[in-house]
């Protein structure tokens, strides 16, 4: 008997394949209607039939899945929380920074019913009752954004911490290095001591090279020893200049040598003592710039025309020239001057001989100064 459903349609019959001819036959057939082969009974798993196979009707009830209910419940919770946060008024503070009485009630006193959402109908409540109860998601707490002053404060604190760490590391490194011997490498070789030894032994030594060697040693290694050697070299140079100024017999070429040495020494060794000696030599050059242009022995008394640093002057015997030279004698072939500032080794004043027209000045030995 064929079963027909309420709509008048016969449900399709379950079929299977014939193992011999591979034609489609009924699942309940024991013999193939095409090739006549016995196909046997179907296997046990194939014989399991549903109510539909037997011609019955299956009543289906709609039940929402678990994931759908979770989504609905999460959406409903988010809507309630969002509405509550929007409607929550900001707490007002008075001048003493205390909340007013009307604002003392926080959002925790408000219920979900006051959020403005409509109540669930009966069908929604039935759907919600079928869902597996789950814990509602934790409300999202929005942290307040930091203000500009807070950002500036954080940046300033970070910069200060970096600076403190840097200087602390430098200080610690300096302390560690201070406790350890520092390898300064090979020291600069000072050549001035060897020159001083040669000079004291009577050998000929270039004073300018000696001053330069001492100055280079101090510049490369300003140790106490090198400074002491530089002072010894300076003393030797000053003594050499004095030797030129007080030489016996003396002439103005010695003054030129003294001026040359003082000038170069001051360029290398800028020192107050060297500067004072240079000024002394310059003053000597100014005063000793004396040349006899001509003499007139026919006049009474005889006169001589001198060229000095400040111009030309005419003097006679007994006059003072340049504030220091006394005219002792005026003759046809020579003029004698007495220097009141420079003494000889005997303690007498230096006597100078000048020839008319000759710039050379020579010292001569006399028994005593001529009378006025």
Q: HEC string of 171-226? A: HHHHHHHHCCCCCCCCCCCCCHHHHHHHHHCCCCCCHHHHHHHHHHHHHHCCCHHH
348: its two tokens = 């007498």
pLDDT, block means (10 residues), the chain with 372 residues: 51 81 87 88 57 55 64 79 57 47 45 54 67 56 73 88 87 70 62 91 92 92 92 94 93 94 93 94 94 92 93 93 93 94 91 93 73 43
Containing H/E element for 294? Answer: strand 291-296
At residue 314, the pLDDT reads: 94
The answer to whether the beta carbons of residues 274 and 262 sit under 8 Å apart is: yes
At residue 188, the pLDDT reads: 76
Task: Report which DSSP code applies to 226.
Answer: H
The dihedral sign for the CA sequence 355, 360, 361, 365: negative
At residue 100, the pLDDT reads: 47
| Residue 363 vs residues 31, 187, 259, 325: alpha-carbon distances, Å | 165, 49, 19, 13
N-term to C-term CA, the chain:
182
């Amino acid at each position: 008997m064929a079963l027909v459903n309420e709509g008048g349609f016969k449900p399709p019959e379950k079929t299977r394949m014939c193992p011999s001819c591979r034609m489609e036959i009924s699942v309940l057939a024991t013999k193939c209607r095409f090739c006549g082969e016995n196909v046997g009974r179907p296997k046990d798993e194939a014989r399991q039939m549903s109510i539909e196979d037997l011609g019955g009707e299956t009543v289906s009830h709609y039940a929402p899945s678990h994931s759908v209910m979770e989504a609905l419940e999460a959406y409903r919770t988010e809507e309630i929380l969002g509405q509550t946060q929007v409607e929550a008024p900001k707490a007002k503070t008075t001048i003493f920074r205390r909340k007013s009485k009307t604002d003392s009630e926080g959002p925790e006193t408000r219920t979900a019913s006051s959020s403005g959402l409509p109540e669930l109908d009966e069908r929604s409540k039935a759907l919600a009752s079928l869902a597996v109860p789950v814990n509602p998601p934790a409300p999202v707490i929005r942290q307040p954004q930091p203000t500009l002053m807070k950002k500036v404060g954080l940046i300033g604190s970070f910069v200060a911490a970096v600076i403190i760490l840097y200087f602390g590391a430098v200080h610690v490194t300096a302390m560690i290095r201070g406790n350890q011997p520092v390898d300064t490498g090979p020291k600069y070789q000072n050549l001035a001591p060897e020159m001083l030894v040669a000079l004291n032994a009577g050998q000929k030594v270039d004073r300018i090279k000696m001053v330069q060697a001492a100055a280079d040693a101090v510049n490369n290694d300003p140790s106490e020893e090198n400074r002491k050697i530089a002072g010894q070299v300076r003393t030797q140079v000053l003594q050499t200049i004095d030797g030129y100024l007080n030489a016996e017999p003396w002439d103005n070429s010695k003054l030129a040598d003294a001026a040359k040495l003082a000038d170069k020494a001051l360029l290398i060794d800028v020192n107050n003592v060297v500067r004072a000696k240079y000024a002394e030599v310059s003053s000597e050059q100014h005063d000793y710039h004396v040349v006899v242009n001509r003499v007139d022995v026919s006049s009474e008394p005889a006169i001589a025309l001198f060229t000095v640093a400040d111009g030309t002057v005419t003097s006679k015997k007994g006059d003072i020239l340049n504030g220091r030279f006394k005219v002792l004698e005026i003759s046809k072939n020579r003029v004698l001057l007495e220097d009141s500032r420079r003494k000889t080794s005997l303690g007498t004043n230096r006597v100078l001989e000048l020839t008319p027209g000759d710039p050379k000045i020579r010292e001569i030995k006399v028994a005593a100064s001529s009378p006025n």
